[in-house]
Amino acid sequence: MTNRPLKIYVVAGELSGDFLGAGLMRSLALRHPHVEFRGIGGPRMLAEGMDSRYPLETLSIMGLVEVLKHLPRLVGVRRALRRDALAWQPDIMIGIDAPDFNLGLERALRRKGVTTAHYVSPSVWAWRQGRVKGIARSVDAMLTFLPFEAAFYRQHHVPVAYVGHPLADELPLDNDRQGARETLGLTMSAPVLTVLPGSRASEIRFHASVFLDAVERLRSERPSLQVVVPAATPQRHRELQALLAQRPALAAHVMLLDGNARQAMIAADAVLLASGTAALEAMLCHRAMVVAYRMAPMTYRLARRLVKTPWISLPNLIAREALIPELIQDAASAAAIADRLTVLLDDDEERHDQERRFTSMHAELQRGASERAADAVTALIERRSLPDGVVNGEESP
């Protein structure tokens, strides 16, 4: 290592990637005080010193069909980032999630001699496993959240480091439901349902109305139900506020928040959410949940042909069983969602069983992920073996 500043190019694709990137940047800065960061990041990464070349939402597009509509623009952004990175000459490029975008950028830069890593494994173990060959050509190492992901890459001789999940490190194994309710102005004498329809505009379009329909059904049977809806961004808040304005009778009983999803989940008896990082966060808050997910019909038909895993939510994938209900596409009707939530709200035993399992799973994922990821990145830059002893896909002695 020379005395010049360490240059790290990081590209995150959405809010969850911004969270992961900020933790990784913070840990790297502790090891390398003169480090510089450049690429794409959100508010958390900007606070850690990121020079972001595009807004975070540039890559936040959900669904196969939707991506096709924006493909020319995305290709242009990727080419611009490639030129920018090569001109800047980073010591390493790290793609955080957004695999369809980042793996192509990583491959192009690696061909030019740039060391590359990918943080957050794509679901290659679930569908189109042949993609692992392309991943092997794109990255010098994969950094995974989960142990079964690392095992998959080892089987295919791809260098890998299992780092755990930063959310598991950040969230405590004990949390205070009563304190969260007091903070939000909720009572302990009535049940609380927290509703998270998604962080992307397309998720609001597909989920918000049916989620609100389900909430109306629940409140018709239990008028005391307290409903909290955290909005992921100011734009999502405006969209949800507009939808609630069309339902004034319901809006009077819904607490719409600017962010604060974690506090809202801790306060809850049950959580209704779209799949994704929110499901993992609800698991790490140890709250019973129902996952419901809808997408464009064409995207769903394509996904059904490609996806092989029996589950879509991270809690079920980690548990390797149907621990929580998943309602997908047509099954995610307002009636079905309300029925599943009724069971959780009425059945203390089922709800508490989920909470106990989640606490145990949480403990297993606490590994100091940001520090382990920073160790792996530093090892790659210094051309040492990865912290878990994997060199070029083979176990080192």
pLDDT of residue 384: 85
pLDDT value at position 395?
A: 39
Query: Cα dist. 216→34, 182, 191, 244, 383 in Å?
Result: 54, 25, 15, 11, 57
Q: Specify the CATH number for 7-164+367-395; select among 3.40.50.2000, 1.20.1630.10, 3.40.50.150, 3.90.1300.10.
A: 3.40.50.2000
Averaged pLDDT in 10-residue chunks for the chain of 397 residues: 82 89 96 95 96 85 53 86 97 94 96 97 79 95 91 93 91 94 96 94 91 97 96 93 96 95 97 90 96 88 74 87 93 96 93 94 92 96 76 37
Amino acid at 382: E
Predicted pLDDT at 260: 94
| Per-residue pLDDT, 129 | 79
Query: CA-based angle 243:244:247, to the nearest 5?
Result: 105
Residue type, 3: N
pLDDT of residue 391: 37
Note the pLDDT tens digit of each residue in 167-226. Answer: 899 999 999 999 999 999 999 999 999 999 988 888 999 999 999 999 999 999 999 999
Distance, CA of 391 to chain centre: 28
Domain boundaries for CATH 3.40.50.2000 within the chain: 7-164+367-395, 171-365
Query: What is the structure's pLDDT at 12?
Result: 94
Q: What is the pLDDT of residue 60?
A: 64
- Please tell me the predicted confidence (pLDDT) of residue 67: 52
378-386 contacts, C-beta under 8 A, 24 or more apart: 378/28, 378/31, 378/32, 380/92, 380/115, 380/117, 380/140, 380/141, 381/1, 381/6, 381/91, 381/92, 381/115, 382/1, 386/141, 386/159, 386/160, 386/161
Q: Say if CB 263 and CB 180 are below 8 A apart.
A: yes
Structure tokens at 373: 């990821």
The per-residue b/e assignment along 297-316, b for 16 or more CB within 10 angstroms, e otherwise, is: eebbeebeeeeeeebbbbbb
Phi first, then psi: what are they for 196, rounded to 5°?
Answer: -125, 100
307 Rama sector, left if φ>0, alpha if ψ -120 to 50, beta otherwise: beta
What pLDDT was estimated at residue 239?
Answer: 95
Q: Number of helices and strands (H, E) in the chain?
A: 18, 15
The Cα–Cα gap between 129 and 73 comes to 28
Class of domain 171-365: alpha beta
pLDDT at 135: 96
